[in-house]
Amino acid sequence: MLPPVLTELTDYFAPLSTFGREEGGAVTLLTPGVNVLGLNATYLPPALSDTVPDLRSALAWHEMQELPPLLASLLPVAGAQQVAALEVGTFTPTELQDSGIVVEQISRLHMQKWAEVLTAAHGTPEWATPLARHLAARLEGQREYLPLLAYDSAGAAVGALLWHGVNGKGAAHLWGVTHETARLPLLNAAWALAEGLRASALSGDVALLEITGVFFGVNVGE
């Protein structure tokens, strides 16, 4: 059984992934053709996080899909090379002076612009089109997900966030900004959709409460 924070992530990403399965308490989500870490990882239960896990079957599945053997865990995994470390926590809204940032909900039909902003924010603009196509298809009929775009005073899109709402609670584990002034207005807008928000962020990017660290690492062990 996964710890609550990893369950939060799989609950958010599973409906967006192409393949998913559970084995030995670990949950694997795979999405060939998309570069989002959360959509291409095997999430480990605590008992497997501080030892070299026996995940040969799950990792073989990664290999079969020609995807790196990426592991997500609460502790760094022996035999894995860390590629990212996130903080998952509770966001509380912040009062802001007028920044000129406007946040709008968009249709899935406009996911190309959304994906262009998100991938630019993470330094991978070449992945915009495949990500847009994948999410546009997965979001069809998914009323629990709302894509948001943030615009600056000149009308340029400078932030993208995918909000997920379940049972009156909101989550934002896929988001990014190309200008730091858009960060808090974007998260404030997401928080307001359910008066509560759980979010992921790199350390220092945004102040979160009730933080738990999540490590992503590529398995390089034998």
Q: What is the pLDDT of residue 203?
A: 86
User: Mean pLDDT for the chain?
Assistant: 92
Would you say residue 27 has pLDDT above 70?
A: yes
Would you say residue 177 has pLDDT above 90?
A: yes
Pairing between β-strand 41-43 and β-strand 70-73 as defined by DSSP bridges? parallel
Q: What is the pLDDT of residue 108?
A: 87
Would you say residue 163 has pLDDT above 60?
A: yes
90-208 has CATH 3.40.50.170 classification: no
pLDDT in tens, 89-138: 999 998 887 889 999 999 988 999 999 999 999 999 999 999 999 999 99
Alpha-carbon gap, residue 52 to 129, rounded angstroms: 36
Q: What is the pLDDT of residue 221?
A: 64
pLDDT in tens, 4-19: 999 999 999 999 999 9
Would you say residue 31 has pLDDT above 80?
A: yes
pTM exceeds 0.75: yes
Q: What is the pLDDT of residue 162?
A: 98
- Exposure string of 100-112, with b = 16+ CB inside 10 Å and e = fewer, is ebebeeeebeebe
Would you say residue 205 has pLDDT above 70?
A: yes
Please list the helix, strand and coil fractions of the chain in percent, rounded to the nearest 5, in that order. 30, 35, 35
Q: What is the pLDDT of residue 54?
A: 66
Would you say residue 70 has pLDDT above 60?
A: yes
∠ Cα 113 168 106 (to 5°) = 15
Q: What is the pLDDT of residue 198?
A: 97
Would you say residue 197 has pLDDT above 70?
A: yes
Q: What is the pLDDT of residue 79?
A: 80
In the block, residue with structure tokens 């799950």:
58
Instruction: Please tell me what DSSP assigns to residue 19.
Output: E
Q: What is the pLDDT of residue 46?
A: 82
